[in-house]
Structure 1
Amino acid sequence: MTINRKNGARLAAVGAAAVATMGFFSVGAANADTFVPLPGGTATETLADGTVVTLHLTNESANVSASLGSTPLHRNVWVSGKASVNLQGNPAKTAYIYPGYILACQVDFGAGVAGNAGASVTPSQLASGTASIPASGGANGGITLGPGQAVDTAILDIEMPDAYGSEIHWGAHYFQGGAGSVGWSDVSLGVNGCAGYAQARSYVKVEVETENVKSTVTLWGQPFSIG
């Protein structure tokens, strides 16, 4: 399945989800027009019914480009990656993969605000990978991010009709069985209004329901500078 975002980024959905945990300040600064290869990661979790869920984040990278607004308050980054998930023991009756990024402006490290799709995180939660990630929401290519703010933005923007035929947007890739994955390529994320140093960090949230249990696993990518 191929999904096209309105901003022209192509999302290829093929099969599962991902996980990575690293320190918030572990990547060096990335300047404008700088390609940043990212290591991705893997995590394995055993659910209450014995199902083993393995998540992978691969082919992750970021390309930090010149400010679209031509001012120090504007940042732009193009992100790519692939999330995949595999289940052993019991297949998934339903499973959803939610990929996205948290963007943070770190002038005031102690502040926290409400972000996109209902996320509410502080930079310290973002650093430790304990931020709360919402279960739904569509892609958001441009956000306003002031000092001390950390905001969630989804990668997928899947259009579908609701029960009444109206258009709705969904930020997850659905699959059943033992495996699923979703990829994104050159998705543009824009930040406006950040007066200081800014970082981004990917995440993949996976909701899995088997015959006996329903559980959620979140994988965090490695943080990187966006200027």
Structure 2
Amino acid sequence: MSENRTHGLRRGARIAGIGAAAAVAIGLFSTGAANADTFVPLPDGQKAAPSGTVTITRTGEHAIISPSLAANGAGRVVWVTGNAVAEIAETPEGTVGPNNGPANGDGSNNSSTHGASQLSTGYIVGCQVNIADNAITAGLSGGISLSDASVGGSIGVNLGPGEVKFVQIDYKDVLKPGTYSVEYQDAQIQLQGCAGYAQARAYTTVEIIGDHYSKTTLYGQPFSIG
């Protein structure tokens, strides 16, 4: 099998080492007299496709949550860290082409069948919505591509009550069988417009093209972002 690894996020988020140990406690890190950052450790996870040709593993995931510097009550910031690995036993070689989603953007429901199989990872963010397994497809408002990220590595998300969005952190094209990974550290997501409670949870998706099309998604544990 070949070994394929990303070398960093497209907008400057730092790379985490593979197998980084998950934190074991929730703590507060002082950022000033009026604010504190909340550290949220998150469990590892694994999911295999029924065919056995794809196995997804996520390790070392955690989040650091802080109030928005705007201090308007409707914004907050979360820094996320994790390592997503996909072991892929079978896939057509494929040829990378344009995305087939609306206006050549990401496909609906976080699909991006653009001529090659793909590993994609990011977060589902909801405002005043319980992102449980039985509600994960309700009210989805499409994907946010990496073009929405700033040069400093921050991804801005505007959410109103009841809205849910996919926030893609990074992806890897899969052109042949092998082991692929997406590693990210302190990738920043800025949430604005949500005056109520907000939740997030990680997703990692492997989409295999061809006559035996499959889509396998590993979801993380939901966590509050204030």
Task: Indicate whether the TM-score tops 0.5.
Answer: yes
Q: 1:97 — aligned with what?
A: 119
Deviation at 1:130, TM superposition (A): 3.9
Q: CA deviation at 1:44?
A: 1.2
- CA shift at 1:66, angstroms? 2.8
Query: Could you tell me how far apart the structure 2 residues matched to 1:143 and 1:136 are?
Result: 8
Indicate the structure with greater strand content: 1
What's the RMSD between the two structures over aligned residues? 3.0
Distance 1:226 1:139, change over 3 A: farther
Give how far 1:148 is off.
1.6
Equivalent residues in 2 for 1:38-53, closer than 5 Å:
38-47=42-51, 51-53=52-54
Once the two structures are TM-superposed, the CA of residue 188 in structure 1 deviates from its matched residue by 0.3
How far apart in 2 are the matches of 1:150 and 1:12? 27
Normalised TM-score (structure 1) = 0.67
**CA shift at 1:187, angstroms?**
0.3
Aligned to 1:10, what secondary structure does the other structure show? coil
TM-score, normalization: structure 2? Answer: 0.67
Aligned partners of 1:35 and 1:13: how far apart in 2?
A: 19
Q: Distance in 2 between matches of 1:12 and 1:104?
A: 26
Distance 1:134 1:99 in 2: 15
How many residues in Structure 1 have an aligned counterpart in Structure 2? Answer: 177
Which of 20, 37, 41 pairs up with 2:41?
37
Cα deviation for residue 55 of structure 1 reads 0.9
RCO greater where, 1 or 2, for CA within 8 Å and sep 6 or more? 1
Give the structure 1 partner of residue 219 of structure 2: 220
**Kept after mapping to 1: 8 A contact 2:56/2:85:** yes
Deviates more, 1:51-60 or 1:90-99: 90-99
| 1:195, distance to aligned residue in structure 2 (A) | 1.0
8 Å CA contact retained: 2:85, 2:180: yes
Please tell me the residue identity of whatever aligns with 2:146: G
Q: What stretches of structure 2 of length at least 5 have no aligned partner?
A: 1-5, 19-25, 29-34, 94-115, 149-154
**Unaligned 5+ runs, structure 1:** 15-27, 110-122, 157-171
**After superposition, where does 1:14-33 map in structure 2 within 5 Å?**
32-33=36-37
Distance 2:223 2:132 in 1: 16
Identity %: 38
1:96 aligns to what SS in structure 2? strand
